[in-house]
Each structure stands twice: as structure tokens, then as C-alpha cells.
Amino acid sequence: MEKINKILESKCLKFICGAGNENSKEIERLAYIYSSAGFNIIDISSKKDVLDAVKRGIARANKTDETAICVSIGVHDDIHFKKAVINKQKCNFCKKCIPECIQNAIFTEDNKILIDEKKCIGCSRCVKICTNGAILTESKYKTPYSMLLPLISEGIDLVEFHCSVSDLNVISENINKVKSIYTGPVGICLDRSKHCDEKITELINIVKSGDETLIFQADGNPMSGCDNEYGTTLQTVAFAQMLESKNISLYVILSGGTNIKTPLLAKMCNIKYNGIALGSYARKAVKDLIARDDFFDNKSVRLQALNIAENIAKELKVNML
Ligand code: SF4
Ligand code: SF4
């Protein structure tokens, strides 16, 4: 049986490093603490050095056999594959954007605001806080086929398509091209605001051919779950409820705006699902600890980060049962 099927037999915990996160140093650390804490799928961007980093992190945690690696690829201009860009003419150097970035991607040099593209995940938090309109996000889109090709023989357990484009033909063409080189388990991640119910059902039928494993990531409000509020996770639970009503055989993972409140809300609404994915919320919780130069050498720092990750996993599991 595929590793991913075994993981999905009971409710899983997925940790999202960020589909556009190319910061290998951070990813090794995140994979180490969250796989140690029991997150059994780690979701990464489609870069060879990132894949190597996540493998190192999981191996450090001694969780290689029980943790699956999911590679995220984007279908046409998906928001997860954008990066922030500063318009220097409009920037007044107020620095309000710096603490807003949970990726530590914004920094100063010679009295200028700069973005570290490898760290940026395109979440747009900085865009929203900048009242001068000095930040926008630009697509760094590459075709799913070209993103996946260098990784195909490197041992990945799941490929996830991020499909916020509304044209089903474009999605279908891209997915079919990838399927000509990759035959393993597939996931799709949809932003609730981009597709109506009918289109979502149609898309599932396009991607799902026969009995293959299909994982559906019900992305309520992508990259919005920094704070532990019901508001950000409402759309995810509503999305899962809609999928349940369609009676299609697939695995559903709650994602996008998810936090500790997600399983509680899902329980209150009596929703069936196969796992919860945490991204922004879980990354923000350990942001300062994993940014430290001495992270792997300083036992106390490492234990603090592990403790936070374990508590998050524990709180999620209590309400997932
Ligand atoms: S918030 Fe906008 S104006 Fe202020 S430093 Fe950041 S980019 Fe510049
Ligand atoms: S706030 Fe989001 S979009 Fe802005 S620099 Fe940070 S990661 Fe990139």
C-alpha cells in the first residue's frame, strides 16, 4: 500500500511549509519539529534543494518511515506562487510591513525595504498593511510539468495541484500532462472563492479517473490562519460540508485559514474529513525560534520549538477524534 494511503487510514496532520517557500534552512527546521510532533504529511515547494532539506529534517526526527512528502505545484497563476515586490518610488520607509511578515522575508538595507524572494510565500499580508500601495505581488509561475520534472525520481509521496484558475480546460490539460510522467497519488487544492459548487464537482471528475487516491484540500481562505479565530476557518469547514453533500469518494483535508479552532468547528458542524493541514498558524508559532542561527546547536531553543509543535498537535488531536 502507498505510504499516503496508510496515513489516511486514520485522521492525518499535514504541515504546510508554503508552496512558494524556497528557504531550505527554514524548511529543514520546520520538517524536523513538526514531523517530530506527529504531523505525518509535510507539504513543500517543488525545488530539489527544498526536497533535500525536508528529507534531512524528517530524518533528524527519525520519522522517515511514517512521514509522507507532498510537493505542491501550481496550475496557471495560482496565488501560492506569487512573490511580493516593492515599488521604491511609493515606499516611505515606515517599516510597518516588516513585523507583518510571518516568513521574515522583509528586511532593510541602506535605508531601503527589500524582499527575500526565497522566503516570501506571496501571502499578501504586507500588501494589505501598506497604506502607500508600495507592495504588490507578482506571479513566478512555471508550468506544473516543468516544476515536477526534476523531482520525479527523487522519492515523493504525493503531488498536489493548486488550481485557483477558473478555466477547467487549462486545469485539465496541465494535470494530464503531469500524469504522463507521474503515476502516484494526487491531491488538488482549491481556493473556495474561485469556484462554484458545480465547477468543483466537474473538476473532481476530471482529476479522478477510476479508483486512484485523490486527496482534496478544501482551502477555505488560503494563507490566512495566523491567528486562532473561528472567522478564518469558517470557509474551510463550509467547503468540506459542501463536498460531503456531493457523495464523491475522496479524502478531504481541511486547509486554508486553519488553526486550533478548526477541529472544534468541524466537530460542532458534524463534518467528515480525513485530516487537517496547518500552515501560517503553525509557522508563526515557531517563527522566532527557527530563525535563530544556533537552532540545531542550542538544545533549549530546539526543545522550546518542539514543545510548541507538540502542543499544537495535541490540541488538534483532542477535537479530531
Ligand atoms: S509598509 Fe509600505 S511604505 Fe511602509 S516600509 Fe513597507 S513598503 Fe514601504
Ligand atoms: S508578508 Fe507574505 S507576501 Fe509579504 S513578504 Fe512576507 S511572505 Fe511575502
Contact assessment for residue 158 and residue 73, using Cβ atoms and an 8 Å cutoff: no
The pLDDT of residue 112: 94
Nearest residue CA, atom 7 of ligand 2?
120
The pLDDT of residue 225: 67
State whether CATH 3.20.20.70 applies to domain 3-76+143-320.
Answer: yes
The pLDDT of residue 15: 97
For residue 122, the CA-to-ligand 1 centroid distance in Å is 16
The pLDDT of residue 212: 63
- Residue 306 Cβ inside 6 Å of ligand 2? The answer reads no
The tally of CA atoms less than 13 A away on the side-chain side of residue 258 is 31
- Residue 159 Cβ inside 6 Å of ligand 2? The answer reads no
The 8-class DSSP code of residue 150 comes to: G
The pLDDT of residue 220: 66
For residue 129, the CA-to-ligand 1 centroid distance in Å is 8
For residue 230, the CA-to-ligand 2 centroid distance in Å is 23
SS3 call for 219:
strand
The pLDDT of residue 136: 94
Name residues contacting ligand 1 (CB within 6 A).
Answer: 86, 91-97, 113, 129-130, 132, 134-135
Nearest residue CA, atom 2 of ligand 2?
123
The pLDDT of residue 75: 81
The pLDDT of residue 213: 67
Across the strands, what pairs with 72?
A: 160
How far apart, in whole angstroms, are the C-alpha atoms of residue 140 and residue 125?
18
Query: Minimal CA–CA distance to 19: which of 168, 135, 161?
Result: 161
Nearest ligand for residue 279 CA: 2
Nearest residue CA, atom 8 of ligand 1?
91
How far apart, in whole angstroms, are the C-alpha atoms of residue 93 and residue 128?
16
The 8-class DSSP code of residue 77 comes to: S
* 41-44 and 112-115 beta bridge pairing: unpaired
- Exposed/middle/buried for 135, CB within 10 Å: 0-12, 13-18, 19+? buried
In angstroms, the Cα distances linking 251 to 10, 26, 216 are 11, 29, 6
From first to last of its 321 residues, what are the pLDDT tens digits of the chain?
578 889 988 899 999 998 889 999 999 999 999 999 999 999 999 999 999 999 999 999 999 999 999 999 888 777 778 899 999 999 999 999 999 998 999 999 999 999 999 999 988 999 999 999 999 998 877 787 888 888 988 989 999 988 877 778 888 888 888 888 888 888 888 777 777 788 888 878 777 766 666 787 777 676 766 778 888 888 889 888 888 888 888 889 999 889 999 999 999 999 999 999 999 999 999 999 999 999 999 999 999 999 999 999 999 999 997
Nearest residue CA, atom 4 of ligand 1?
94
The pLDDT of residue 279: 93
SS3 call for 210:
coil
| Domain positions in the chain | 3-76+143-320, 80-139
- Residue from 16, 121, 137 whose mutation best tests the ligand 2 pocket (most atoms within 8 A of CB): 121
The 8-class DSSP code of residue 178 comes to: H
- Residue from 87, 112, 132, 136 whose mutation best tests the ligand 1 pocket (most atoms within 8 A of CB): 132
The reply to whether 3-76+143-320 and 80-139 are identical in fold is no
CATH of 80-139, one of 3.40.50.1820, 3.40.190.150, 3.40.50.1000, 3.30.70.20: 3.30.70.20
